[in-house]
């Protein structure tokens, strides 16, 4: 016996049974991996920074001596560095003056606050102005 669409009654039963059968459980996974590309080395004055782009898995701060570098996403594009917070602890206080004076006495490039290529008393004056202004 044929229906108006040309399918037999048995064919309709088979199709109907296939449509009502529950889907088998599926296993999903999201494998862990990183996307690290590009990168290279940037330098200016006595500083050199090497790294890659796209490291969404970057962790806590990397520190060495009086320097600290934190990887990950930028919090905002309008953020300006706070020169008065020389030690980078988020607070402008006397510890920043001591950290600056240690770097200045050692002639470190980070103490070249006015970016003229020389660590001298002009940098002390510039730093104290930034420090007094706060952040």
Per-residue confidence of the chain (135 residues) as pLDDT tens digits?
A: 454 555 555 554 555 555 555 556 777 776 665 555 556 677 777 777 666 555 555 556 667 787 776 665 544 444 567 899 999 888 999 999 999 999 999 999 999 999 899 999 999 999 999 999 988
Please choose, from the candidates 107, 99, 69, 71, the residue with its C-alpha nearest in 3D space to the C-alpha of residue 83. Answer: 99
Residues ≥6 apart with Cβ < 8 Å to 55: 34, 36, 71, 72
What does the domain layout of the chain look like in residue ranges?
Answer: 38-133
pTM exceeds 0.75, yes or no: no
Sequence-distant (6+) residues with CB within 8 A of 8 are: 1, 2
């Amino acid at each position: 016996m044929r229906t108006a669409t040309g399918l037999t009654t048995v064919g309709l039963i088979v199709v109907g049974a296939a449509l009502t059968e529950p889907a088998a459980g599926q296993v999903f996974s999201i494998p862990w991996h990183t996307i690290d590309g590009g990168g290279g080395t940037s330098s200016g004055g006595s500083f050199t920074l090497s790294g890659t782009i796209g490291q969404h898995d970057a962790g806590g701060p990397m520190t060495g001596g009086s320097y600290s570098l934190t990887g990950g996403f930028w919090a905002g594009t309008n953020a300006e560095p706070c020169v008065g917070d020389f030690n980078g602890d988020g607070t402008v206080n006397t510890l920043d003056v001591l950290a600056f004076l240690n770097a200045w006495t050692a002639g470190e490039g980070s103490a070249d606050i006015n970016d003229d290529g020389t660590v001298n008393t002009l940098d002390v004056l510039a730093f104290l102005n930034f420090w007094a202004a706060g952040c």
